[in-house]
Structure 1
Amino acid sequence: MANQPAGQLLPLLKTYSLLLVLLAAAALSAWAVYALPAPVVDRMLEADLRKQATDWRRRILLHLEDGGGTFLSGQLDAHDIEYLSLLPETTEAYRIKLFQADGRVLWSTRPADIGTVNREPYFQQIVAKGAVYYAQDSKPVAQIDGFETRDTGAMAATRDVAEIYTPVLQGGRFAGAVEFYADITALRETFLNRVRISLALVSAVMVAAIGIVSLTVIRTNRFSLRQMQQRAAKDQEIMASQMQLAREVKLLGELNEWLQSCRSLDELFKMVSEFMSHLLPDAEGSIYVFSNSRDVLAGCASWNGGALKDHIRPDECWGLRRGRTYEFGASEVEFTCAHAVPHDGRSYFCFPILAHGETVGLMHLRAMPPRAGDFATCKPLAQMCAEQISMAIANVRMRDQLHDQSVRDPLTGLFNRRHMTESLRKFLSSSALNCARLSVIAVDVDHFKKFNDNHGHDAGDMVLRAVSTVLDKACDGSEAACRPGGEEFTLILPGVPPEDALTRAELLRQAVEEITVSYGEKTLPQITISAGVAHYPAHGLLPQDLLRAADEALYAAKAKGRNQVCVAATSAEAGQDAEWRAAEQAASARGPAEGSNKAG
């Protein structure tokens, strides 16, 4: 009995609450009917008037004697002026102005405007850059040309006026603009009334629906206890779902953090395999990434026992062919992807991995046999994982591209001076540890200045690219072809004996001598190079010493008449070479195990 008053008050409180909801819905509907239509209608009118103004401008340009050239010349003949004067009668615009590129009015339906200059910022910042400028404002009736004759029934103090500037381009550059003034008061009022009537009808239906629902809820209060029990059970499910969601969000955050720290794709895919086995425990998965040629996709990672093939073709996946996620097991008529064969009937997903609008790979998920019924619920999470992976792949590739750009010469594609110095320092350290040979070849294009002076700098660039192509093809493995600057090139040949380095330099000279470069309709003169060769340790132990020795040998080759190869020579060369050969023999005598340990 003590609980009876509370039980009697509960339906009453619910009734009052529902009444308040009805009142709030009615008030909100009234506000929406009054306030919402205006901005919606203004946007509709703006879109329509922008299109009409573009059509009007096109008509004007078609009827002008010189078209867009009129705006550049600033000249209108009598036929042009007559046609322009009649436009307010055949269009919705009551005033029209023609502007030249500097903002000066070339012609206007209001003669007083001719010769004035529009110095507003929007003219140069928007219109002059080829964009349409639209403005809507209220203007007094007295400022609207011909208002009395066109609309004698409306005597409002102000009118809604749209002002549209449409740019005129001639030969790809801004030549001028056409401005239209249109009285949109009547049209705007008509649209407003129609939208308000529609919103009022929708609001009435919504309020009525809320009222019906409210009455239904009041009549079903006797089932409140059962509903509360059901709600409690549902809350438990939601709490469990939220806990699972929180776990997934945490793992996704950790996955993103780890992926952003990856330095290579191999490292990235190892992390993906580890995380995906925790994020998607009910699915077998694998990831494929497009090769550089984009002919095939290479298998890169798998988890939970997912099958991973070395390569698959893009046309073997319906997801890639259709450009969206493909779900097998959700439709009455389905087709199995060729890369999923052999197939045992289990459901699977194919998620195209996209980065910056480009497909970079594929994530394939297949339901694990014990939990095939719950497999469809993992689709949203799997989609988010695919997005995380796609951005990580794009970041690693972009980082690799930026690093490549930082060490490459933009003209020839060879390594630049900074990378040359760093590489030579590393190679020398490795040579010192392993008692290995190293040679440096300095190359210079003979009489390069004549190519620039006689044929132009573009021809000189073609010569440099042709020579760099020969040098790049001559390098193998860890060998590096560099362009320190100008017409100078450097080849770093780790592990190459002096005799072989000299032979390589001579072959390079002969290969360059056989180059034929065509510039325009003529063939450039024969290209030759001079080369200087220096060896480690005979000509130096430090990078600067070796480079200096190679340069001195290069200068000697030029002094002897160019188009030849010279080897650097020092007074102590014979003694150093003998000491080095003894060190090589001692390293060989220690055996491969000791040598390997020393290199490590």
Structure 2
Amino acid sequence: MTETRKFRRPRLNMLLMLFLGLATTVAWLSVVYLPTPLVNRMMREDISREAESWRMRVLHALENGSLTFETGQLSPQDTAWLDEVTTLSDIYRFKLFTADGEVFWSSRPSDIGTVNNKPYFQSVVAMGEKYYKAEMKPMDEVDGHLHAAVDHHLPGDMLCVAEIYTPVMRDGRFIGAIEFYTDLTAMGHTFTARLRNIFLGLSSISLILLVMTSVVIRRSGRAQLRVIRQRAVKERELMEDQMRLARDVRLLGELNEWLQSSRSLGELFEMVGRFMSHILPDSEGSVYVYSNSRDVLMGSASWNGGHHCDHIRAEDCWGLRRGRTYTFGSAEVDFPCGHSETQDERPSFCFPVLAHGETVGLLHLKAKAGVTLEDFRASQKLAQMCAEQISLAIANVQMRDQLHDRSIRDPLTGLYNRRHLTETLRRQLDRASREDRPLSILSIDVDHFKRFNDTHGHDAGDMVLRAVGSVLEQLCDGDETACRMGGEEFMLLLPDLSLQAAALRAEALRSAVERITVRYGEKNLPRITVSIGLAVYPEDGTMPQQLMKAADDALYDAKGRGRNQVALAGEEDPAAAPNATLLAAHRDGASAPEDDAA
């Protein structure tokens, strides 16, 4: 038996050394042959991510967003911003395409108006997929290439240039594309050097292991073998920890990038749910955000089997009540939070989500079944970092929403302003044209408004405007939009309403304003009335300015006829108009059929 063991050990030792030598050879060969395909793949993924990021930046910066690719029209501000892109990034040239492949803007003006008829544009890009290719080009074809002192390229050298198309989609439709060009030469050299250093390091490690194994084999001591096994276990655990840490850092960076690019809280919480299920796979989670009134927290998202209530109060959470992270299940005596639907003994965290010194929400995490308290608590630091990322993103979205709301709202009445009406009217006209739907617009003016200001003061005039704005807001339904155009002028946009229905709505509005009672000081202000002009699409205009002018002209007709009435665009004789009887019946409180019967 002893001789058999002595015979087997040298054979095993030789096999081990042969294996280590083969591994070292493979590692050295990898230094020469493997980096090129890996570098190409790494560069492609990196450029794809950068192109997607720039696509979102371009769409966000354009005044009309993705609609620009349908119209192919750019504002001067859009052109000025696009002209600066190549000077502020590694992109040296890029183009904007319509769905037909026509270039309507390019950093190289000579490309504007050309059409991309190549097969991949329709078979790949138009199908919503990115198209990427990298090829070597002469240096003189790269726009804006600078021969700086640190640039070791010589005139006539070939550069590795990446060309990538990113599709632009709207409501699931392909409406255009963005093509980016960037120089990959330096990036390729950097990635190649890094990969070679990694493979050199791996080969060096293999060589070191080979030498160490040779020494251990010579000594053939069980104690030394045991030390090697223990060391291998520790190194494996350390490597696993480092890989896990690198993965967590990568996911946190990606989470931050995606959260900062979200446009709404709904989109933000969808991203949070998807990322948290990967970052903390052993935890069920949910997130809550304070409502605008700050009396309750609204359940916004959950993941990994977690649940969230529709709303909770701050008193339901010990973390919010104590103003710091609360851990359930770690102390000898503790109490579960009221918002936890499953009242079991599994440990949990409650992280108050803070932004700019103010609590904006709550992140709740609970260990999955079978996860120990020690393993769950080991994830606390990572969970805290996630809560900080989420808090900043929530604060940024809320601040952006508030700024946007202020930019489209009239501060006195709270109604939308002229800018928002113009943009909404343009969209509604496009929709009405595509779907053959009616569209009506009311131009409204407060009668004798100057008398309120001159007789009772500007405060009384402001009260009158707020009262009229309140009536407009109450009468709006669905997609209907009420706006204050300035002074005592208002407009009401009524999609999907025909001339007859819009005339009845206008008369109802006039009657409702007439019934307003505004008390100022110790007495009531005089009766408030409005004159209304009505215009409809397409009879009175097909463009926003045409339709608004037709409604304004009708408004002037209503004022010329004595005010406190509704006038239709284009009617010469109000008494003979088809809707005159209907308006009169509505004004008198009777229905049109009853009047006809009488």
Number of corresponding residues:
348
> Is residue 539–residue 570 contact of structure 1 (8 Å, CA) maintained in 2?
no
Once the two structures are overlaid, the 10-residue window that deviates more, 322-331 or 334-343, is 334-343
What is the Cα deviation at residue 427 of structure 1?
A: 0.9
Matches within 5 A, 1:209-220: none
> In the aligned structure 2, how far is the partner of 1:469 from the partner of 1:502?
20
Alignment partner, residue 437 of structure 2? 436
> In the aligned structure 2, how far is the partner of 1:427 from the partner of 1:229?
73
Instruction: Kindly provide the amino acid, as one letter, of the partner of residue 317 in structure 2.
Output: C
What is the SS of the residue equivalent to 1:354?
strand
Alignment partner, residue 356 of structure 1? 356
> In the aligned structure 2, how far is the partner of 1:538 from the partner of 1:499?
13
Alignment partner, residue 515 of structure 1? 516
Partner deviation per Cα, 1:498-550 (whole Å, 9 max, x = no partner): 12211111121121112222233343222111111111122112211211111
Instruction: Kindly provide the amino acid, as one letter, of the partner of residue 564 in structure 2.
Output: N
> In the aligned structure 2, how far is the partner of 1:520 from the partner of 1:300?
45
> In the aligned structure 2, how far is the partner of 1:509 from the partner of 1:369?
64
Alignment partner, residue 316 of structure 1? 316
Alignment partner, residue 454 of structure 1? 455
> In the aligned structure 2, how far is the partner of 1:340 from the partner of 1:480?
41
What is the Cα deviation at residue 465 of structure 1?
A: 1.1
Instruction: Kindly provide the amino acid, as one letter, of the partner of residue 519 in structure 1.
Output: Y
What is the SS of the residue equivalent to 1:566?
strand
Residue 387 (structure 1) aligned with residue 388 (structure 2): yes
Alignment partner, residue 330 of structure 1? 330
Alignment partner, residue 415 of structure 1? 416
> In the aligned structure 1, how far is the partner of 2:313 from the partner of 2:460?
43
TM-score calculated relative to the size of structure 1: 0.55
Alignment partner, residue 19 of structure 2? none
> In the aligned structure 2, how far is the partner of 1:370 from the partner of 1:380?
21
Alignment partner, residue 257 of structure 1? 257
Alignment partner, residue 179 of structure 2? none
Percent of aligned positions that are identical: 64
> In the aligned structure 1, how far is the partner of 2:300 from the partner of 2:465?
39
> In the aligned structure 1, how far is the partner of 2:295 from the partner of 2:453?
41
Alignment partner, residue 4 of structure 1? none
Instruction: Kindly provide the amino acid, as one letter, of the partner of residue 463 in structure 1.
Output: V
> Is residue 467–residue 518 contact of structure 2 (8 Å, CA) maintained in 1?
yes
Alignment partner, residue 481 of structure 2? 480
What is the SS of the residue equivalent to 1:491?
strand
> In the aligned structure 2, how far is the partner of 1:310 from the partner of 1:547?
43
Alignment partner, residue 592 of structure 1? none
Partner deviation per Cα, 1:174-201 (whole Å, 9 max, x = no partner): xxxxxxxxxxxxxxxxxxxxxxxxxxxx
Once the two structures are overlaid, the 10-residue window that deviates more, 273-282 or 474-483, is 273-282
Residue 530 (structure 1) aligned with residue 531 (structure 2): yes
What is the SS of the residue equivalent to 2:342?
coil
Matches within 5 A, 1:551-590: 551-569=552-570
Alignment partner, residue 280 of structure 1? 280
What is the Cα deviation at residue 239 of structure 1?
A: 5.7
5+ residue gaps, structure 2? 1-226, 573-577, 579-598
> Is residue 534–residue 567 contact of structure 2 (8 Å, CA) maintained in 1?
yes
What is the Cα deviation at residue 232 of structure 1?
A: 10
Once the two structures are overlaid, the 10-residue window that deviates more, 377-386 or 357-366, is 357-366
> In the aligned structure 1, how far is the partner of 2:505 from the partner of 2:441?
11
Alignment partner, residue 344 of structure 1? 344
What is the SS of the residue equivalent to 2:309?
coil
In the TM superposition, structure 1's runs of 4+ consecutive aligned residues that sit over 6 Å from their partners are 227-236
Q: Specify whether residues 539 and 347 from structure 1 end up closer, same or farther in structure 2 by C-alpha distance, changes over 3 A only.
A: same
Partner deviation per Cα, 1:377-399 (whole Å, 9 max, x = no partner): 11111111011111111111111
Which protein is bigger by CA-based radius of gyration?
A: 1
Instruction: Kindly provide the amino acid, as one letter, of the partner of residue 287 in structure 1.
Output: V
5+ residue gaps, structure 1? 1-226, 572-576, 578-600
Instruction: Kindly provide the amino acid, as one letter, of the partner of residue 361 in structure 2.
Output: G
Alignment partner, residue 300 of structure 2? 300
> In the aligned structure 2, how far is the partner of 1:333 from the partner of 1:341?
20
Partner deviation per Cα, 1:196-244 (whole Å, 9 max, x = no partner): xxxxxxxxxxxxxxxxxxxxxxxxxxxxxxx999999878766654443
> Is residue 307–residue 341 contact of structure 2 (8 Å, CA) maintained in 1?
no
> Is residue 284–residue 306 contact of structure 1 (8 Å, CA) maintained in 2?
yes
What is the Cα deviation at residue 486 of structure 1?
A: 1.2
Partner deviation per Cα, 1:456-508 (whole Å, 9 max, x = no partner): 22222221111111111111111000111111100000011212211111121
What is the Cα deviation at residue 346 of structure 1?
A: 0.9
Partner deviation per Cα, 1:35-94 (whole Å, 9 max, x = no partner): xxxxxxxxxxxxxxxxxxxxxxxxxxxxxxxxxxxxxxxxxxxxxxxxxxxxxxxxxxxx
Instruction: Kindly provide the amino acid, as one letter, of the partner of residue 349 in structure 2.
Output: F
Once the two structures are overlaid, the 10-residue window that deviates more, 281-290 or 345-354, is 281-290
> Is residue 347–residue 366 contact of structure 1 (8 Å, CA) maintained in 2?
yes
Instruction: Kindly provide the amino acid, as one letter, of the partner of residue 300 in structure 1.
Output: S
Alignment partner, residue 29 of structure 2? none
> In the aligned structure 2, how far is the partner of 1:340 from the partner of 1:483?
46
What is the SS of the residue equivalent to 2:284?
strand
> In the aligned structure 2, how far is the partner of 1:268 from the partner of 1:335?
31
